[in-house]
Amino acid sequence: MLSLNYQYKLKVNKQQASTIDEWLDICKSVYNFALRERKDWVNSRKCPIDRCSLESEYIIPPDAPRPTYARQCKSLGMAKKKFPRLSIPQSQVLQQTLKGLEEAFVNMWNRGFGFPRFKKKMRSFVFPQVKPDCIQGKTITLPKLGKLKLVLSRPIPEGFVPKQVRVIKKASGYYANIILQLDVNVPDVPAHGYPIGIDLGLEEFLATSEGELIKGHKFLKESEGELKLLQGQLKNKKKGSRRWKNISRRIARLYEKITNCRKDFFYKTAHHLCDQAGMIFVEDLNLKALGRSALRKACLDAAWGTFVSILSYVCWKRGVYFAKVNANGTSQICPECGVNCGKKTLSERVHKCPDCGFQADRDVAAAMVVKRRGESTVGATGRKLDQGNDVGDEVSTSSSVTL
């Protein structure tokens, strides 16, 4: 099964926007109530069995079952009789809200995430099932919302059927994330073509094993002055007033612009790299640790994790083999002779091997090490397939594989 996620902007009128906002508010209330129910049950099991706190205590019967996704979904039916407002959204939308809470707890248990928090705003809701013919021309029909106009920035691929729709509220308007599916098996991309290695950095966003250096983006840093000015104005406004809302909207739009500019840069860079090779290897960085280091602000602004995920998708789409390699010691090992030259300070930007005398830019040398490690993981398959071909031949071969 092949799945694609396409996002389109919705052109809604005031009544439709008001309905979507009301649904978001109801979903937020359901999420927070379910989380409160779970927290109360957990806290009631923390107190000692022989005494109670002098201040407050969560008293829940000992035979009360633990609130789970299935039990809370079942209780929605009784809650709708007591609170008719819960009957306004489609029932599956509220069930998906509870499912999101369940996923938050699963991520806490299995992936080490923090305890789920209460939401001040709900920004999206999901229709897990939609009709196959819900998209007609430039409109989409959703349960209880009716027909909504779409800005078809790109056509729906032939043969794909809509399976799920997520309605998202952003600073720039309302959007629909549509999951399209086609019943076909797509094999993994085999190792082939000319390989390149990539080293990610801060001074230069990335360096390739071919010696190319791509200048780093600083979209957040360039907008910090405007953000500081707007946030200073927001601080002096009364919360909830008209001017407070206007400035908050401007701040949200600026953050969205930064995100869009960053994503546009990532996609263009990924396609540029796929034009050059049939195999791309990148470092498997510990992004969680880098996000807590002394350079965390610059690392988070660089958004290496987002770029790597976009690069892997673009490689899959264009038929380029993609793989991650071990990142330990890539800046210490000489790519020419393989000798460990020791650690370098951040100010050392040139790699000089004391054994073989090889000299190159530090990031380029690290990218060459990444390339060698990638070749060792897949063997010499790529070299054997394209022996005798130059880089231009390999590029034309890999570029022709598109979906």
- pLDDT tens column, 101-116: 999 999 998 988 888 9
Residue written as token pair 């910090």: 224
Per-residue pLDDT reduced to its tens digit, 5-60: 999 999 999 999 999 999 999 999 999 999 999 998 888 877 666 766 656 666 77
Give the count of beta carbons closer than 10 Å to the beta carbon of residue 96: 19
Considering the chain, what is the average pLDDT of its residues?
A: 85
Report percent pLDDT > 70 for the chain.
Answer: 91
Do residues 177 and 166 make contact, with C-beta atoms less than 8 angstroms apart? yes
Report how far residue 371's alpha carbon sits from residue 184's, in angstroms, rounded to the nearest whole number: 33
Report how far residue 164's alpha carbon sits from residue 130's, in angstroms, rounded to the nearest whole number: 6
| Assigned token pair, 373 | 């490690």
Per-residue pLDDT reduced to its tens digit, 178-222: 999 998 888 888 888 889 999 998 888 899 988 889 988 888 888
Report how far residue 137's alpha carbon sits from residue 126's, in angstroms, rounded to the nearest whole number: 22
Burial of residue 212 (CB within 10 Å: 0-12, 13-18, 19+) is middle
Residues 39, 69: one domain?
A: yes
Query: How far is C-alpha 5 from the geometric centre of its chain's CA atoms?
Result: 13
What letter represents residue 157's amino acid? P
Residues 149, 266: one domain?
A: no
Burial of residue 132 (CB within 10 Å: 0-12, 13-18, 19+) is exposed
Instruction: Report the length, in residues, of the chain.
Output: 403
328 confidence band (pLDDT: 50, 70, 90) = confident
211, 296, 308 from 289: Cα distances, Å? 28, 9, 17
Is 187 within a domain? no
Beta partners for residue 190, in sequence order: none
Residues 86, 160: one domain?
A: no
Report how far residue 44's alpha carbon sits from residue 60's, in angstroms, rounded to the nearest whole number: 6
Report how far residue 53's alpha carbon sits from residue 342's, in angstroms, rounded to the nearest whole number: 58
Q: How many domains does the chain have?
A: 3
Is 51 within a domain? no
The DSSP symbol for 149 reads E
More confident site: 161 or 378:
161
Q: What is the CATH number of the domain that holds 267?
A: 3.30.420
Residues 200, 325: one domain?
A: yes
Choose the final residue of a domain: 79, 100, 125.
Answer: 125
18, 32, 72, 169, 311 from 25: Cα distances, Å? 11, 11, 18, 12, 36
Residues 285, 363: one domain?
A: yes
Residues 367, 338: one domain?
A: yes
Report how far residue 336's alpha carbon sits from residue 324's, in angstroms, rounded to the nearest whole number: 21
Residues 78, 170: one domain?
A: no
> What is the structure's pLDDT at 17?
94
Do residues 197 and 185 make contact, with C-beta atoms less than 8 angstroms apart? no
| Assigned token pair, 235 | 């601080």
Residues 145, 121: one domain?
A: no
Helices 91-111 and 14-44, packing angle to 10 deg: 40
> What is the structure's pLDDT at 307?
93
Q: Which domain holds residue 68?
A: 11-45+60-125
Q: What are phi and psi of 361, to 5 degrees?
A: -60, 140
Do residues 80 and 95 make contact, with C-beta atoms less than 8 angstroms apart? no
395 confidence band (pLDDT: 50, 70, 90) = very low
243 confidence band (pLDDT: 50, 70, 90) = very high
**Range of lowest pLDDT (9-18, 157-166, 229-238, 295-304):** 295-304
Do residues 360 and 351 make contact, with C-beta atoms less than 8 angstroms apart? yes
Report how far residue 170's alpha carbon sits from residue 289's, in angstroms, rounded to the nearest whole number: 30
Residues 64, 76: one domain?
A: yes
> What is the structure's pLDDT at 400?
29
Choose the final residue of a domain: 76, 105, 125.
Answer: 125
Is 18 within a domain? yes
Question: The pTM is what?
Answer: 0.82
